[in-house]
Homo-oligomer: A and B are copies of this chain.
Amino acid sequence: MEAKEILKAHVARFASLTDEQFEYFFSFFKRQGFKKGQVIISEGDAVNCEYFVISGCLKSFYVNDNLKMFILQFAMPTWWASDYNALYNDTKATISVDCITDTEVLSLTNDHRERLCAELHEAEHFFRWRTNRGYVAAQKRLLSFMNSNVKCRYEELLRLYPELYNIVPKNLIAAYLGVSRETLSRLYQA
């Protein structure tokens, strides 16, 4: 499926745009390709864009003072990724984004999104619902952190996103679950 079609189907889940409106909506996006390992947003950067994944897989992550990495999100096709704190508040990135595999995205600048939202009520409706769902998902993840042990969280992750198992190395899965790779490796020992 073509990038435009993928975005169109995604937008249609939350908003009703006419074909003409969608053409306008789509005109603000820019298609970009990145290689495995390529860094899209690096800590300290100015952040202008958010990214809608067409194919491949991104990760957004934070690295603390001890160089330990924590993964906020894996972004598979039809997911969005950026440092939203930096993007919304026009500050330097504290979250980085890079490519786990070769990845195609549609990028949208902050200014373009706001212009779209201002000009097209239905676009604002779409972005409201996109974030609503992200907010609910973040709360669920927070609860699973407080409530569940590693094994439960790992099994839940694989249940929800089985495709990750084949694409994402175990050390990154561990960084997403917030445990050491050794602990993850030992889960199904003997």
Contacts and interface: CB of A to CB of B under 8 A. Distances in A.
Q: How many copies does the complex hold?
A: 2
A139 B134 CA distance: 10
A141 interface: yes
A184 to B, nearest CB: 14
A62 interface: yes
Interface residues on A, range: 20 to 34
A146 to B, nearest CB: 4
A139 B89 CA distance: 14
Contacts of A135: 84, 131, 134-135, 138
Contacts of A132: 84, 88, 131
A143 interface: yes
A64 interface: yes
Given A117-B125, A128-B128, A139 B178 contact: no
Contact of A70 (B84, B131, B141, B146): B146
A145 interface: yes
A84 B143 CA distance: 14
A28 interface: no
28 contacts: A62-B143, A62-B147, A64-B147, A68-B147, A70-B143, A70-B146, A72-B142, A72-B143, A84-B132, A88-B132, A88-B133, A89-B136, A117-B125, A118-B125, A121-B124, A124-B125, A128-B131, A131-B135, A134-B135, A135-B135, A135-B138, A138-B138, A138-B139, A138-B142, A141-B142, A145-B146, A145-B178, A146-B178
